[in-house]
Structure 1
């Protein structure tokens, strides 16, 4: 039920993001989802890729600082209030969302959102109890 996410720490300067995507492209690693957060001096690029180990290896070989985080990919109804419903399940049990970002997929009925929770196991349990679809990592890497 967990998805491996790569976090890459980048200097906040022109060309660094292009360099990451070039390195991954040359290694035939496909990016499935991404998020970029920045400050004045650095950024954190969060990636879901189709081959975590290969991406980690080639990025490190090119001098990037790489970390691993476990996240959860959840199917959310693509309608007004769909995300609010999922977030209320978590809020009712005091599970905090540390961050989230959308996953692009060709679907008209549901959205897939990547979540990082302060209590991953509890969040998964609560969402499963409410019938929320949680994707396995292998499913996400192939989408």
Structure 2
């Protein structure tokens, strides 16, 4: 039930993001979701792609500093308080959230949110026990 996320260290200079996206485009790799955190000098781009292993290899070969990280993708109720209910479960169960971001895909009743948490295996078990839908990597990559 883990999803592989690609994180890329990008210098904060003109054209670097274009180079990275062109590298993926040349390999016919589709970006499913992304998040970027930046400072004056650099940014960390986090990606969910349809083929994470191939993306990792292509970016490494192109000279990018890349890491793979396991994250979880959850179906979150798409109504006021839906995210709060997930957060309450995680707080009650002492699951520390390092960061999160949403995927653009959603169903009529749920949004899809990526979570990076400590103790990911424990988090998956607890969330599933609470009836939260934890999506598989294959499901997320195929969106």
Question: TM-score range with shorter-chain normalisation?
Answer: over 0.9
After the TM superposition, which residues 1-143 of structure 1 pair with which residues of structure 2 at under 5 Å, given as runs?
A: 1-143=1-143
SS of residue paired to 1:104: strand
Instruction: Name structure 2 gaps, 5 residues minimum.
Output: none
RMSD: 0.9
State the distance in 1 between where 2:2 and 2:106 align: 22
Distance apart, 1:107 and its partner CA: 2.2
Distance 1:119 1:38 in 2: 26
Moved over 4 A (4+): none
**Is contact 2:76-2:111 (8 Å) kept?**
yes
Equivalent-residue separation in structure 2 for 1:63 and 1:110 (angstroms): 38
Deviation of the 1:95 alpha carbon: 0.9
How far apart in 2 are the matches of 1:34 and 1:45?
7
Unaligned runs of 5+ in 1: none
TM (norm. structure 2) is 0.97
- Deviations along 1:88-130, one digit per CA (max 9) or x if unpaired, are 0010021111000001115221100000001211211111111
Please give the alpha-carbon distance, in whole angstroms, between the structure 2 residues aligned to 1:108 and 1:27. Answer: 32
User: What's the offset of the Cα at 1:69?
Assistant: 0.2
Change (3 A) 1:124 1:107: same
**Are the counterparts in 1 of residues 73 and 112 from structure 2 also a CA contact under 8 Å?**
yes
Q: Does the 8 Å contact 2:106/2:112 carry over to 1?
A: no
Q: CA deviation at 1:16?
A: 1.1
Equivalent residue pairs, number = 143
TM-score (structure 1 length as normaliser):
0.97
